[in-house]
Amino acid sequence: MSEHAAPPEGADFGHDFARALDAADPLRPYRDWFVYADDTIYLDGNSLGRLPKGTPARLQEVVGDQWGRSLIRSWPRWTEFATAVGDRLGREVLGVDDGQVAISDSTTVNLYKLINAALDLRPDRRTILIEKDNFPTDLYVVQGIAQARGITCVYLDSDIDRGVDVSLVADALSDDVALVVLSHVAYRSGALADMVSITAAAHEAGALTLWDLCHSAGSVRIPLREATADFAVGCTYKYLNAGPGAPAYLYVRRDLQSQARQPIWGWFSQRDQFGMDQQYAAADGMARFLTGTPNMLGIASVDEGLNAIADAGIGQIQEGGRLLTGYAQLLADEWLRPLDFAVASPRQPSRRGAHLTLHHEQAWQVCQAMIARDVVPDFRTPDRLRLGFSPLTTSYDEVWRGLDQIRQIVQVGEHLAFPTERAAVT
């Protein structure tokens, strides 16, 4: 981590400076672990990570050797492998001991399972807290469960740029709150929540916590252990580079596993799976939070995606993300602020994940103009241009060229040739 060098105050931020930062970057060798098929400037690694070079061979091994040759005889090996990859993800990315993470289903399904399990642990409480600017899936799942159970959702009025803080949560807690559902890194701005303090406040009030780790796993340290967090979910196709449709994961703190019971009773969570009993009996440990047949191709991709993260270490990755976003912030202040852009992410490196969001009234049009120039960012309402930097795959050169393209586009008004968001939708 100490090998990183932050840009000095008053530095010349020319292209040569970006190249010099790349030359000194200890994460630079990991770019050779990934596929770069063209000259695309890719600033959307927090939506879909790049393809690891080893993944096609891993998939071919599962398809050709295991499925093709061993057929159903591969299942004992596959089942053990699925458990092992969940444990590895827990150790290398989430910082927790084995036996507390399972790879299963999608983030949405895992949210449904764990929210219901948590509510059943607090049957006398009738309120869920969730930040109003949480990711829409989280909001929808909470709303659906609340409607089905006849309980109340309380929406924390978090700022869309600064995110949620402990005082906001503490003020909303009461002896009727069963569960607090929050994102560790805000999907829109990248604001990093104080998991330890917020979880402590929830526990003091007798509530449980469920953390969405989709935008933090693989980009920042996740203090599940220090916080004694209760539950967590996340996806694997962003910073974990497991590919589109790769399975999600869920975390349940060890001491809660014997108490919690999720609502989707499938045969992979049955205690005696091949006993074929007609009555359900939940398995022990994390197996009770599974549902149906695991996605072995997806799990193999998860395992391959973990290789670079495990080798680099999450501490060094987090530092790399802070420096990339910090460099982008300096360029935005220097080049883009005169063009009516504003940094919408927290300005302190310790308060954000690995993406930086810019506000501009014509952000949608700027985004479309960038894509036309083969620069890939993301747009988020209202009027936010989201730049996702993956420390293992994004170079300072890409950051420099990407923000230079934004500068060029807006200086000449190139973005004005593109329709507004409303026109594009209609």
> Is 165 part of the annotated catalytic residue set?
no
**Which residue has 């530095």 as its token pair?**
11
Helix axes 314-331, 296-312, angle to 10 degrees: 80
The rounded distance, in Å, linking the Cα atoms of 154 and 169 is 11
Residue 83, marked binder? no
Helix axes 314-331, 15-24, angle to 10 degrees: 170
Provide the β-strand partners of residue 192.
185
Tell me if 238 sits within 8 A of 218, measured CB to CB: yes
| Listed residue (98, 114, 248, 244) closest to 180, CA to CA | 114
Residue 138, marked binder? yes
Catalytic residue, from 13, 135, 249, 396: name it. Answer: 135
> Is 237 part of the annotated catalytic residue set?
yes
Residue 135, marked binder? yes
Here the tokens at position 59 are: 């998939």
Residue 29, marked binder? no
Catalytic residue, from 194, 212, 230, 378: name it. Answer: 212
The rounded distance, in Å, linking the Cα atoms of 93 and 248 is 13
Pairing of strands 375-376, 378-380: unpaired
**Overall size of the chain counted in residues:** 426
**Which residue has 């764990």 as its token pair?**
114
Here the tokens at position 37 are: 């098929």
Residue 199, marked binder? no
| Listed residue (235, 188, 221) closest to 355, CA to CA | 188
Catalytic residue, from 112, 187, 237, 289: name it. Answer: 237
The rounded distance, in Å, linking the Cα atoms of 406 and 347 is 20
Catalytic residue, from 386, 389, 396, 418: name it. Answer: 386
The rounded distance, in Å, linking the Cα atoms of 46 and 73 is 37
The rounded distance, in Å, linking the Cα atoms of 235 and 247 is 7
> Is 386 part of the annotated catalytic residue set?
yes
The rounded distance, in Å, linking the Cα atoms of 353 and 388 is 9
> Is 238 part of the annotated catalytic residue set?
yes
Residue 394, marked binder? no
Residue 267, marked binder? yes
Catalytic residue, from 31, 88, 188, 238: name it. Answer: 238
Residue 152, marked binder? no
Residue 293, marked binder? yes
Here the tokens at position 133 are: 């600017």
What residues act catalytically? 135, 212, 237-238, 386
Annotated binding site, which residues? 107-108, 135-138, 212, 215, 237, 267, 293
Annotated binding site for pyridoxal 5'-phosphate, which residues? 107-108, 135-138, 212, 215, 237, 267, 293
